Structure 1
């Protein structure tokens, strides 16, 4: 006989604290309090109970106001109209399931070396994952290097390239490291190919390499390593122990062995040890070695053909071991033994440090945009989480202290994005004469001519000096900001932010691991601060300071009436910085070099924030500038005043004027 269901018998109503979740089950009918019938509480399990609604990571072009404002500030509308649809499509692609699958594969299947064949012959075969190779191909196809060399938009090609690069970074698993080096080496080779006097085998080798480095075809394109670091120092290359000797006569074996993809073997033999060499899977390398005339720059193919076969072998290189690093796990970084590497001299003997400076300046821009790109992805995840997460019965996005923390990150992130694209724009201006010379030397048609500077960008004559001063500032500040920012992003997510999440799109822990290298690669923060002083007190110091002074002054003069007072405060900061540089002893400036670099960064970023807000007095831009001045303590009242207005301002900074639930398409703003 079936058992009868229990009869529900109402119990006398009892008072329930307003803060209790049970209060939601009570209602009032005819003035009397009733408790709605509830089921007996059941324990949670692996399949029952609360499950967090997954955050939806939005297309960065639609969700990242800093990126939108950078496009608006640094690119003419005619160019924006052409590139925004492509950037929007790419924003979807980097978050797509196929790309996430490649990311997961690259992180799980790490590179390794097979040192010997089955018969005991040394081979040093580097094995990389399908995910790594797939992501590399995407970066090449999407023009992470080639956009800067196609020069379709003249001086604006570089800001366009790096805006796209910023969107790519969070999904790239550091395939951008080879891109970084490839771009710098391509710029160095283009400079030499612009000189018609360079002829013969060297020109053929450089032309062959250059055309492959700037290709968009993954089947043809090369990447390159850039090897400077040895055991005795990182960025200090003065004690380089790799030696090079001129030996143009090839052995019979070498004469039958072409380089990788047909690059002939060079007339120099180079031997030594490289302590930290990234992009070990590249097709060529540029490195430093010492000749009788001093430290010099060389280039060489990574591999050469084995005579009489279709197989290849390393060009005098042995992989001693791969590095075990905190982050950048998918990127193969190695210790390399160089034994009679056949190479070409690039530039003049003894001028290696000067030659490699071209590579470093471009690489430092990449490093900075990589750092901010990682941070931008982390902030996108944090915003998405705040939209769906509840604390008790209230959305996390309504918590004033939490949103204040997000707002502080967002304004610093925006200032760093503006600085990145500003310096990238300077690079675009500086390169145009060299590109014109390269086109002349190679018989290529000239493209659009350089457009002289506007109120945002300096004129061409000043751009080179400002670029040289701000490149180390950019590299030094963005790295430290992004590292601290991604630590905050992890905390914003609570425990799940700390997890090595198998779902690649939410893995902030990976982003944090990967971004930490940005303060070390291409020069540490203190080295960047020292470099700032070298520029100010170097041979071109007399030109650098007036160029910088003119840009800051003209930029601040464009402040609208409501922003003139804070613009005057920024001008006061700039005046004090100039005074310190001329009144204090060099030893004290060295002692305080990092602080001086940070203060210079504050001046430049504040000026850019004013220029951005003044272009249209957009509510979000104005709120962001106000918050920036408060959080930096520049305004003199450091986030004080009407607290309710501050809460509203912070909401606008993080989520826009329509609040956290407004996640619609914002392309119309562009």
Structure 2
């Protein structure tokens, strides 16, 4: 029967509808719904600068919430009561450094680089160093937050140092390298504290050193000083034996010269120092410590950067000319300069001819800072990647479901965890070593015979007698290994984020490229990797060799004995590494050992990191910590854990995201 439209009830598949209202592109398949019920298909729209897919920005979390390695280090090295007290502050600070106001300061410091005004309008040399508002405000934040002061307030006794350095580690990714002056300020403050503990110090020298010490350890940005540390000259970087800066004692100064003072009102020193310094970071500091040669050998000197002009309130540089600023791969916001010294008025620190001994204290503290900087930058890079992985999709699947990708992240996180543990361990050793020095200082300055000793013990810390030996051995190991690990780790982080990771973006939240280029200085600053390896050899074969080796033997035995079923038979791997290392060091020809010094430094680092990861896994039988130790061990054996591929995939996700997995983040303190 014909319908009202004139078509048959059983219309052919190929028959056209004569109705002019029907589009010629209508579907002509007898399986399709009637024309009146078909919704028009959306035509694809080309993407543009405003249309198409836009990646949802990742949310980077504060490290005290998201960084399992950092959380575990606090659990291992700080007593529960101290963790409970400092965790709220560290958590707040971890969020603050990721806030827009702070990151805007970083962007300003990176964009508005320091520059030099050499001459004034009338042709007079002025050498005025101009830094950005971002740099100055970040410096003030670091001072207020106690990046140096915490270690000298000593509120938590030997635990003050790990507390300080964990906070410092969180800060580095947002600091724009105001941590460089912090590094030098910390080491020089320790040097001044040592000399202030000497009861034979003459009164005028004591007053000058005490004034400088008070400013270096202050939290008040209006009062506090930072300091430079100048050793590098053209003939060598870490080799200071050929220092060409000369110092002469000149107690008889003209009346006009004698009237000049430092900016704090302290009299200027009676030594006149002249020479050339090839690299000087923290050029905007208020004072400097440097090496110069006297008739009795290389000595250490301290001087203010500026001095008053006669009896006026106007100031000028204290015999210093800034020749030029260095153009560097990274650390762009940090003013690094070549300096000409001409009759700098300075104080001799310690004895003539013992400058390298004096500066060693500064260098060892600087090495801990250097390591924390490297690992702090790497930790920030990994935080960015974890945030990215949580929101990124490949096709319709989340990126974290890609097992090969998560495998790469797991390997990075295992190595990062080992490096964090090493950092906080060495910082803890420093805290123990310093307590007698602090007691001597307090006795000399206020008559207090001693400071209270903490009765609280933590796992993995050797006895105080052994701590000094182990600290001296591990300071160069720490510096050498963490720098290389962070540089390689951040290169991987850039790749893990694809093209966006390679961008020098002004969005400081996600600029891994900045972190990477900055990290490269860590393997050079305060001594290259080969210099660190050489220093390890000096300690092992030096005068304290017997004490050092005995202390390490006892500590490795303690760590191995503390291992439990959580780490299985892998505990013996650490003991075997230590045995092999000693055999090479003491049974092979010394020239072969020298040839292999870097390799042997790395193997010594493996011994300590392996022991720490084993202790971490054993002390509370945490499954992820045990996973990390076994994965770390397998990597050194050039193999993998003896699990099936499905177990490996699940383990990798735990290593990156913890037990909660990628969809949930919880603080684990």
TM-score range normalised by the length of the shorter chain? over 0.9
Tell me what 2:189 maps to: 186
Q: How does 1:552-591 map to 2 (within 5 A)?
A: 552-591=556-595
Offset at residue 631 of structure 1 (A): 2.1
Q: Closer, same or farther in 2 for the Cα pair 1:453/1:357, shift >3 Å?
A: farther
CA distances 1:424-475 after superposition (whole Å, capped 9, x unpaired): 0000000000000000000165543144865410000000000000001000
Offset at residue 227 of structure 1 (A): 0.2
Contact 1:455 1:555 (8 Å CA) reproduced? no
Tell me what 2:137 maps to: 134
Residue 370 of structure 2 is aligned to residue 377 of structure 1: no
Tell me what 1:439 maps to: 442
Give the match's secondary structure for 1:578: helix
Aligned residues: 646
Give the match's secondary structure for 1:260: coil
Tell me what 2:390 maps to: 387
Give the match's secondary structure for 2:272: strand
Unmatched 5+ stretches in structure 2: 1-20
Scaled by the length of structure 2, what TM-score is found? 0.94
Q: 2:481 aligns with which of 463, 469, 477?
A: 477
**69-78 or 256-265, larger mean C-alpha shift:** 256-265
CA distances 1:311-336 after superposition (whole Å, capped 9, x unpaired): 21100000000000000000000000
What is the rounded CA distance, in whole Å, between the counterparts of 1:60 and 1:163 in structure 2? 10
Tell me what 1:629 maps to: 633
What is the rounded CA distance, in whole Å, between the counterparts of 2:569 and 2:447 in structure 1? 50
Q: Closer, same or farther in 2 for the Cα pair 1:478/1:11, shift >3 Å?
A: farther
What is the rounded CA distance, in whole Å, between the counterparts of 2:136 and 2:530 in structure 1? 35
What is the rounded CA distance, in whole Å, between the counterparts of 2:143 and 2:22 in structure 1? 68
Tell me what 1:541 maps to: 545
Give the match's secondary structure for 1:92: helix
Offset at residue 638 of structure 1 (A): 2.9
Residue 169 of structure 2 is aligned to residue 166 of structure 1: yes
What is the rounded CA distance, in whole Å, between the counterparts of 2:336 and 2:59 in structure 1? 34
Offset at residue 251 of structure 1 (A): 2.0
Tell me what 2:370 maps to: 367
What is the rounded CA distance, in whole Å, between the counterparts of 1:10 and 1:535 in structure 2? 85
Tell me what 2:650 maps to: 648
Give the match's secondary structure for 2:509: helix
CA distances 1:77-122 after superposition (whole Å, capped 9, x unpaired): 0100110000011011000111011000000000001011111111
What is the rounded CA distance, in whole Å, between the counterparts of 1:57 and 1:6 in structure 2? 52
Offset at residue 657 of structure 1 (A): 1.5
Give the match's secondary structure for 1:296: strand
Tell me what 2:89 maps to: 86
Offset at residue 505 of structure 1 (A): 1.1
**62-71 or 257-266, larger mean C-alpha shift:** 257-266
Residue 118 of structure 2 is aligned to residue 115 of structure 1: yes
Offset at residue 658 of structure 1 (A): 2.2
Unmatched 5+ stretches in structure 1: 15-27
Contact 1:426 1:463 (8 Å CA) reproduced? yes
Q: Closer, same or farther in 2 for the Cα pair 1:444/1:496, shift >3 Å?
A: farther
Residue 651 of structure 2 is aligned to residue 662 of structure 1: no
What is the rounded CA distance, in whole Å, between the counterparts of 2:28 and 2:478 in structure 1? 69
Q: Closer, same or farther in 2 for the Cα pair 1:255/1:629, shift >3 Å?
A: same
CA distances 1:573-617 after superposition (whole Å, capped 9, x unpaired): 111111111110110000000110101101100100011011111
Give the match's secondary structure for 1:273: strand
Residue 536 of structure 2 is aligned to residue 527 of structure 1: no
Tell me what 1:19 maps to: none
What is the rounded CA distance, in whole Å, between the counterparts of 1:546 and 1:410 in structure 2? 32
Q: Closer, same or farther in 2 for the Cα pair 1:541/1:13, shift >3 Å?
A: farther
Contact 2:630 2:641 (8 Å CA) reproduced? no
What is the rounded CA distance, in whole Å, between the counterparts of 2:558 and 2:30 in structure 1? 72
Offset at residue 6 of structure 1 (A): 6.8
Offset at residue 307 of structure 1 (A): 2.9
Offset at residue 207 of structure 1 (A): 0.6
Q: 1:153 aligns with which of 140, 152, 156?
A: 156
What is the rounded CA distance, in whole Å, between the counterparts of 2:28 and 2:527 in structure 1? 73
Q: Closer, same or farther in 2 for the Cα pair 1:109/1:12, shift >3 Å?
A: farther
Q: 1:275 aligns with which of 243, 265, 278?
A: 278
Scaled by the length of structure 1, what TM-score is found? 0.94
Tell me what 1:56 maps to: 59
**184-193 or 452-461, larger mean C-alpha shift:** 452-461
What is the rounded CA distance, in whole Å, between the counterparts of 1:577 and 1:452 in structure 2? 33
Contact 1:153 1:448 (8 Å CA) reproduced? no
Q: Closer, same or farther in 2 for the Cα pair 1:295/1:13, shift >3 Å?
A: farther
Contact 1:453 1:459 (8 Å CA) reproduced? no
What is the rounded CA distance, in whole Å, between the counterparts of 1:11 and 1:77 in structure 2? 76
What is the rounded CA distance, in whole Å, between the counterparts of 1:496 and 1:266 in structure 2? 53
What is the rounded CA distance, in whole Å, between the counterparts of 2:178 and 2:23 in structure 1? 65
**650-659 or 427-436, larger mean C-alpha shift:** 650-659
Q: Closer, same or farther in 2 for the Cα pair 1:7/1:249, shift >3 Å?
A: farther
Q: Closer, same or farther in 2 for the Cα pair 1:256/1:57, shift >3 Å?
A: same
Contact 1:13 1:35 (8 Å CA) reproduced? no
Contact 1:268 1:343 (8 Å CA) reproduced? yes
Q: How does 1:333-348 map to 2 (within 5 A)?
A: 333-348=336-351
Offset at residue 5 of structure 1 (A): 11
Offset at residue 628 of structure 1 (A): 1.2
Give the match's secondary structure for 1:271: strand
Tell me what 1:459 maps to: 463
Contact 1:148 1:157 (8 Å CA) reproduced? yes
Offset at residue 250 of structure 1 (A): 2.2
Residue 361 of structure 2 is aligned to residue 358 of structure 1: yes
Tell me what 2:294 maps to: 291
Residue 600 of structure 2 is aligned to residue 593 of structure 1: no
Root-mean-square deviation over aligned CA pairs: 1.9
What is the rounded CA distance, in whole Å, between the counterparts of 1:601 and 1:550 in structure 2? 16
Q: Closer, same or farther in 2 for the Cα pair 1:552/1:306, shift >3 Å?
A: same
Give the match's secondary structure for 2:278: strand
What is the rounded CA distance, in whole Å, between the counterparts of 2:269 and 2:24 in structure 1? 94
What is the rounded CA distance, in whole Å, between the counterparts of 1:418 and 1:642 in structure 2? 29
